[in-house]
A and B are shown apart, each in its own frame.
Chain A
Amino acid sequence: EAGVTQSPTHLIKTRGQQATLRCSPISGHTSVYWYQQALGLGLQFLLWYDEGEERNRGNFPPRFSGRQFPNYSSELNVNALELEDSALYLCASSLSERDVFQETQYFGPGTRLLVL
């Protein structure tokens, strides 16, 4: 069974540009989570999508946004890139058949974003 996949693996942008990161969850998973892992800041929760809707977001500015498609894949968009947005962006997915609180999140390999 394929795990969570993310693309691209690496992305280089300049300040002010926009970045789009993609995630495909494990087959059967309907919840998708995005996390940012910046140097020195640890893993920070960004966004959670379930059944096509944004359920929660972390403490990030509105220029971080995303969406979830009918096939449960997801995009993370970062507008007006800043140097400090350079980080590893990890996507995770989980089941949400019962209560998503009880489900384990499985992570993809991440996208390394570098903002110059």
Chain B
Amino acid sequence: AQKVTQAQTEISVVEKEDVTLDCVYETRDTTYYLFWYKQPPSGELVFLIRRNSFDEQNEISGRYSWNFQKSTSSFNFTITASQVVDSAVYFCALIELSNSGYALNFGKGTSLLVTP
């Protein structure tokens, strides 16, 4: 069963638009970590943010913001005033305490295209 669902496979926006990438996760654990990674065309996964299950505070980092809501099992990512350099595939991922393998469970990713 898919533990992390990113329902949006592709999103296309024009530069300077705001865009929200959705992530819904499934877990029975009370202790878990959520991540967002960015994969530009070069292929390398770039770490963006980590959030533990006990910290529901939203976070803002420059043009990026994250909205974590345990009630809806969602960890959405918003890019404000998007730029062409934001074009990439974005992955949401989950690690659960009960998962002794400590492997990241990735969503399928959302491909974001920002056009000038």
CA distance A48 to B100 in the complex (A): 11
Across the interface, do B109 and A42 meet the contact criterion of CB distance under 8 Å? yes
Asked whether A56 lies within 8 Å of B101 as measured between CB atoms, the reply is: yes
Interface residues on B, range: 20 to 34
Contact A107 B95 (CB under 8 A): no
Least CB distance from B111 to A in Å reads 12
Flag whether B37 is at the interface (Cβ < 8 A): yes
Is chain B's binding surface mostly helix, strand, loop or mixed?
A: loop
Contacting B103 at CB < 8 Å: which of A58, A102, A107? A58
> Which residues of chain B (17-64) have a CB below 8 Å from chain A?
33, 35, 37, 42-47, 50, 52
Which B residues are in CB contact (< 8 Å) with A35? Answer: 104
Instruction: Verify B42–A33 contact, CB threshold 8 A.
Output: no
* A104 in contact with B50 given A45-B103, A48-B102, A58-B103 (CB within 8 Å): yes
Which B residues touch A33, using CB under 8 A?
103-104
**Complex Cα spacing A48 to B103, Å:** 8
- Looking at the assembled complex, report how far the CB atom of B48 sits from the nearest CB atom of chain A, in whole angstroms: 10
**Distance (Å) between the CB of A3 and the closest chain B CB?**
8
**Is A101 a contact partner of B33 (Cβ separation < 8 A)?**
yes
Cβ–Cβ contact B103 & A42, under 8 A: no
Task: Mark interface residues in A57-82 (1 if CB within 8 Å of B CB, else 0).
Answer: 11000000000000000000000000
Are A48 and B101 in contact (CB-based, < 8 A)? Answer: yes
Q: Are A55 and B101 neighbours in the complex by a CB distance under 8 Å? A: yes
Contacts of A55 in B (CB 8 A): 101-102
The answer to whether B102 and A108 touch across the interface, beta carbons within 8 angstroms, is no
Of B43, B103, B106, B108, which is within 8 A of A88 by CB? B43
- Report A-chain residues with C-beta under 8 Å of the C-beta of B43: 88, 90, 109-110, 112
Binding site for B on A (CB under 8 A): 31, 33, 35, 42-43, 45, 48, 55-58, 88, 90, 92, 100-102, 104-110, 112
Extra contacts besides A90-B45, A104-B35 (7): CB < 8 Å: A45-B101, A48-B103, A56-B101, A58-B103, A102-B52, A105-B104, A112-B43
